[in-house]
Amino acid sequence: MLMSLLRFTGRRLVSQTCPGLKASKKHKFPLEMARPSSNMADFREVFAKAKHIAIITGAGVSAESGVPTFRGAGGFWRKWQAQELATPEAFARNPSRVWEFYHYRREVMLSKHPNPAHIAIAECEKRLSKQGRSVVVITQNIDELHRKAGTKHLLEIHGSLFKTRCTNCGNVAANYKSPICPALAGKGAPDPETQDAAIPVEALPQCEEDGCNGLLRPHVVWFGETLDPDILTAVEKELEICDLCLVVGTSSVVYPAAMFAPQVSARGVPVAEFNMEATPATNRFRFHFPGPCGTTLPPALARHQTEIIS
């Protein structure tokens, strides 16, 4: 079921693989189960036995590190919301403006640090790997805070702020330069009164691969774009073998990630949701732990008394 659904997603639902499309009436979750439990002791017993743990994370994890989400009321950069800038059309019309927006976000992220939730996940992965158990993080976030915290097995389904892709040759490369190019130094102020003076295209980030010199773009999935099929395939494989799934800091309304955990739950695998509040998928899960992820997750993933530490 999961395999066919993800294949359908990758091939057909082009509009639904953008990082901002919300659930519609055509895509309902299955019938609700019993009300989820908030009993941490019960969760800990399930956790102690799990061999393959999949952790799906969203913006709520990064928000606790002070990362702006640009979603909802007040989520503006200058006078635009993310969905007005994070599109191929916006980049084609005004690459300078789009690059200022992403330059601002990159610079902000360079000053941010992983919070206790990121650290708990990374420490859990490291500890369990010594016991022959696996943890994979499937994240919708593009900020690389999981990587910064030390997570190794990471699937970034929406890409990364710190990778670029050439619009000419397609080369993808990590890029942590600050600023990413001289022309963007001091640019990107979010103040609504900032004058929108365009930077010449030739001064924007350029590809250095074999003298290509093509215009670079952020290697992130924009609204209206499909997810990388290789990433989706990797996600599919992990969700099919997992025997415990955690949904952390995500609203469960952004497709296709909103489908992942309900499909895992549908095959009888325990799913635990850690979020500030209930979501449209909450009643599909066995556990729900309300509150900040940085508070609820560390005790959930801490060493269990039955664990054998080598």
Q: How far apart, in whole angstroms, are the C-alpha atoms of residue 280 and residue 106? A: 31
Q: Which residues are annotated as a binding site for Zn(2+)?
A: 166, 169, 207, 212
Q: How far apart, in whole angstroms, are the C-alpha atoms of residue 6 and residue 232? A: 7
Catalytic one among 146, 158, 219, 288? 158
Residue where the block lists tokens 């915290």: 149
Paired tokens of 60? 């709520």
Paired tokens of 32? 């609700």
Paired tokens of 289? 């732990």
Q: Taking a C-beta distance cutoff of 8 angstroms, is the pair 62, 143 a contact?
A: yes
Q: Which residues are annotated as a binding site?
A: 58-77, 102, 105, 140-143, 166, 169, 207, 212, 249-251, 275-277, 293
Give φ, ψ of 159 to 5 degrees: 90, -160
Q: Taking a C-beta distance cutoff of 8 angstroms, is the pair 304, 48 a contact?
A: yes
Q: Which residues are annotated as a binding site for substrate?
A: 102, 105
Q: Which residues are annotated as a binding site for NAD(+)?
A: 58-77, 140-143, 249-251, 275-277, 293
Q: Taking a C-beta distance cutoff of 8 angstroms, is the pair 248, 145 a contact?
A: no
Q: Which residues contact 195 (CB under 8 A, 6 or more apart)?
A: none
Q: How far apart, in whole angstroms, are the C-alpha atoms of residue 32 and residue 11? A: 28
Paired tokens of 199? 């930077």
What does DSSP assign to residue 108?
H
Supply the angle between the helices 293-301 and 40-49 in degrees, to the nearest 10.
Answer: 50
Closest CA to 102 of 209, 190, 192, 14: 190
Query: By three-state DSSP, how is residue 289 classified?
Result: strand
Q: How far apart, in whole angstroms, are the C-alpha atoms of residue 37 and residue 35? A: 7
- Quick check: is 158 catalytic? yes
Catalytic positions: 158
